Amino acid sequence: MSRRLLRTDRPMRWAQSAFKTRNGTIYTVLIVVALIFPGFADITTGGEGNHLVSTAADAGVYVLLAIGLNVVVGFAGLLDLGYAAFFAIGAYTYGMLASSQLAGSPLHMSIHLPFWLLLFVAIFVAASFGAMLGAPTLRLRGDYLAIVTLGFGEIVPRLFRFFGAGSPIGNWTGGVNGIAAIDPPKLPAFLSGPWFGTNWPIAVVAPFDFSDGNWAPMDYYWLIIILVAICIMLVTNLQNSRIGRAWMAVREDEVAAAASGINTIAVKLLAFAIGASFSGFAGCFYAAKLSLVSPENFEFVVSVTILIMVVLGGMGNIPGVILGAITVYIVQFFVLTNLPDWSVAVANAVGLGGIVPASADGSWIGLHDQVQRLNYIVFGLILVTMMVLRPQGLFPSRIREQELEKGTAEESVFDVREGVD
């Protein structure tokens, strides 16, 4: 106790201890970057930083998703290949209950519930679906579970697409077009009132008005930063709790865990439901920010992208997973999007301009288009090389590292072939 007091009385000591561990360093850097990013974006783009800030807020959604999937894959060791389904469920929950969509449904009335309430509703709905899917399937072996979740992940967007206009039970989800014009979040007047923002001589704080096109990107950015921070705290506490230790035990040796009195099914179900709830949470924010949900946003590629984030960062290690999510997001939406233009510029600069245009007979589609097709293979190669060369990820959790290097003794007790319950 006295040592703690001694530490806190000198601020520099705090800074030293923050950098003492690797995770502390990562968190500190992340916080600093998050705080200065909007200013940085504004300066580098000459006052037009809104687009960058908005993109960063989208990246935050993926950070949330990666943190959630990490609970399932990293902590409990269950492979969920249909994670985007819960994302979709969260997004559609918000979309349907905060837009005029249901006016066209057999209900004939539009529902506009507040964002802050629906955040919790989305968590609850997604977690319930997670529990409903998990309860009968978590007894299965790990790879069967992966396939069941994959099947679920394929079913959900198809159902959302089907229950649009012309479905037997009426138009609930908007079908192929999805749901548009979804309400933005609104803050109560005492928070968003006139003392904030441009009405003042000096705009100290951005007005928290999510429908103001000028300020919305910034508002969403801060909102997602706050949400991510809350989630990190929750998940870190979970990891160090009794449940977190149970997850670790189940992951490493299910037989031993069961023998030590852990209810393995309940513990796995909890991981699955908590993972799903994070996804629903992220989906709700995503729908509000985009103001549009459509079935195409939740395809299998999304699930795999989130999985790549978790694997690349280091399964089981929260700061690692966050860095993994940011890295993959930058690769996908910045590097791979701009790569075609860059490669054309490089080819022109080094005198290979001849390979840029497409050939007349169509046998060569041009450098730009060819490079544009790289995304799938890049993602696949990241997954394969990571798993073969460094399965513990870039920033591994120390326990998981040992496990992945040496392998676990044997797999689950619930061998389906034997039909044992």
Closest CA to 238 of 318, 311, 131: 318
Is there a contact between 75 and 300 (Cβ–Cβ < 8 Å)?
Answer: no
Cβ proximity to other proteins, 207 vs 314, nearer residue: 314
Phi, psi of 50 (to 5 degrees): -55, -40
**Candidate list 18, 146, 180, 238; residue touching other proteins; CB under 8 A:** 146
Which of these ranges, 10-18, 71-79, 102-110, 235-243, lies near other proteins under the rule CB under 8 A?
71-79
**Candidate list 34, 104, 131, 162; residue touching other proteins; CB under 8 A:** 162
Interhelix angle for 115-137 vs 142-162, to 10°?
Answer: 130
Cβ proximity to other proteins, 341 vs 369, nearer residue: 369
**Candidate list 91, 235, 287, 311; residue touching other proteins; CB under 8 A:** 311
- Tell me the number of residues near other proteins by CB under 8 A: 57
Kindly state the smallest distance separating residue 252's Cβ from other proteins, in Å: 9
CA–CA separation, 215 and 195 (whole Å): 15
**Candidate list 391, 394, 399, 413; residue touching other proteins; CB under 8 A:** 391
CA–CA separation, 344 and 326 (whole Å): 26
**Candidate list 142, 170, 184, 366; residue touching other proteins; CB under 8 A:** 142
Distances (CA, A) of 25 to 16, 32, 228, 240, 395: 10, 11, 18, 19, 12
Interface mask toward other proteins for 77-106; x: CB under 8 A: x-x-x-------------------------
Question: Cα(first)–Cα(last) distance of the chain, in Å?
Answer: 49
Is there a contact between 91 and 284 (Cβ–Cβ < 8 Å)?
Answer: yes
Would you count residue 374 as binding other proteins (CB under 8 A)? yes
CA–CA separation, 203 and 214 (whole Å): 13
Is there a contact between 137 and 276 (Cβ–Cβ < 8 Å)?
Answer: no
Would you count residue 373 as binding other proteins (CB under 8 A)? yes
**Candidate list 110, 171, 327, 370; residue touching other proteins; CB under 8 A:** 370
**Candidate list 110, 144, 347, 390; residue touching other proteins; CB under 8 A:** 144
DSSP H helical ranges for 241-290: 242-252, 254-259, 264-290
Which of these ranges, 148-156, 178-186, 290-298, 330-338, lies near other proteins under the rule CB under 8 A?
148-156
Site for other proteins in 198-217 (CB under 8 A): none
Cβ proximity to other proteins, 195 vs 364, nearer residue: 364
Is there a contact between 383 and 79 (Cβ–Cβ < 8 Å)?
Answer: no
Neighbours of 12 (CB within 10 A): 7
Closest CA to 219 of 282, 293, 285, 278: 285
Would you count residue 363 as binding other proteins (CB under 8 A)? no
Give DSSP secondary structure letters for 37-77.
HHHHHHHHTTS-THHHHHHHHHHHHHHHHHHHHIIIIIIS-
Would you count residue 136 as binding other proteins (CB under 8 A)? yes
Kindly state the smallest distance separating residue 333's Cβ from other proteins, in Å: 17
Kindly state the smallest distance separating residue 153's Cβ from other proteins, in Å: 9
Would you count residue 361 as binding other proteins (CB under 8 A)? no
CA–CA separation, 282 and 60 (whole Å): 9
Cβ proximity to other proteins, 3 vs 417, nearer residue: 417
Which of these ranges, 91-99, 118-126, 341-349, 375-383, lies near other proteins under the rule CB under 8 A?
375-383
| CA torsion through residues 213, 214, 220, 226, sign | negative
Would you count residue 381 as binding other proteins (CB under 8 A)? yes
Interhelix angle for 216-240 vs 318-330, to 10°?
Answer: 150
Would you count residue 394 as binding other proteins (CB under 8 A)? no
CA–CA separation, 208 and 200 (whole Å): 14
Which of these ranges, 5-13, 227-235, 351-359, 376-384, lies near other proteins under the rule CB under 8 A?
376-384
How many whole angstroms from its chain centre is CA 115? 19
How many whole angstroms from its chain centre is CA 199? 36
Which of these ranges, 73-81, 181-189, 211-219, 253-261, lies near other proteins under the rule CB under 8 A?
73-81
Would you count residue 330 as binding other proteins (CB under 8 A)? no
Binding residues vs other proteins (CB under 8 A): 73, 77, 79, 81, 136-137, 140-144, 146-148, 150-152, 154-155, 158-159, 161-162, 300, 304, 307, 311, 365, 369-370, 373-384, 386-388, 391, 403-404, 407-408, 411, 415-419, 421
